[in-house]
């Protein structure tokens, strides 16, 4: 019985593999990938606050740091807001949402042409119940998580924009 299941699995995997390979799937950073020109070629504007430093760090982790000269520049405008969302019966806030939005523009540094622009937004939450130290740690962690999510979304949109550009 188990060999029958194994055969069925292998046949299904082979059929699925041929279906995926025939659909035109190609990695964006692969050889001649549509977004391979972004890797180690994007100079992100210098951060001006701790939160923007966290975002730039995450973007450079995903896009790489340009070695000699970058072909593209990435400008960022960040908006952050914190809202109390959970209160106890005694009207003490015990939960906060941190909302973040980033407007970005990828520009060609040689021609100053704007290649793509966009806006991404999301939110994370943290607990304010507990000691002062644990609340501070929760808040810092929330901002770090927010910057990771925003960086992922920016990079995904930049990759999609590169793939959509005519060859």
User: How many C-beta neighbours within 10 Å does residue 142 have?
Assistant: 20
Q: What is the full per-residue pLDDT of the chain (167 aa) written as tens digits?
A: 455 566 666 666 665 655 555 566 666 666 566 666 788 889 999 999 999 999 999 999 999 888 778 899 999 999 999 998 887 777 777 889 999 999 999 999 989 899 999 999 999 999 888 888 988 999 999 999 999 999 999 999 998 888 777 65
Burial bucket for residue 116 (CB in 10 Å: 0-12, 13-18, 19+): middle
- Report d(CA 96, CA 100) in Å as an integer: 13
What is the distance between the alpha carbons of residues 129 and 137, in angstroms, rounded to a whole number? 12
CATH class of this structure's domain 2-164: alpha beta
Locate 83 and state its tokens: 């809202």
The reply to whether the predicted model has a pTM over 0.85 is: no
Domain ranges (residues) in the chain: 2-164
Helix axes 132-164, 50-63, angle to 10 degrees: 40
């Amino acid at each position: 019985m188990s060999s029958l299941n194994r055969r069925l699995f292998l046949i299904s995997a082979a059929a699925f593999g041929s279906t995926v390979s025939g659909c035109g799937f190609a990695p964006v950073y692969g050889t001649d990938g549509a977004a391979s020109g972004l890797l180690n070629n994007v100079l992100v504007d210098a951060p001006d606050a701790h939160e923007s430093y966290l975002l730039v760090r995450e973007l450079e982790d995903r896009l790489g740091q340009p070695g000699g000269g970058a072909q593209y520049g990435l400008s960022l405008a960040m908006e952050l807001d914190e809202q109390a969302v959970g209160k106890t019966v005694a009207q003490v806030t015990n939960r906060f949402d941190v909302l973040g939005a980033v407007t970005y523009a990828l520009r060609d540094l040689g021609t100053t042409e704007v290649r793509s622009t966009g806006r991404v937004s999301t939110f994370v939450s943290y607990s304010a119940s507990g000691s002062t130290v644990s609340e501070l740690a929760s808040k810092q962690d929330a901002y770090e998580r927010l910057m990771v999510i925003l960086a992922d979304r920016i990079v995904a949109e930049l990759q999609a924009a590169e793939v959509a550009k005519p060859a």
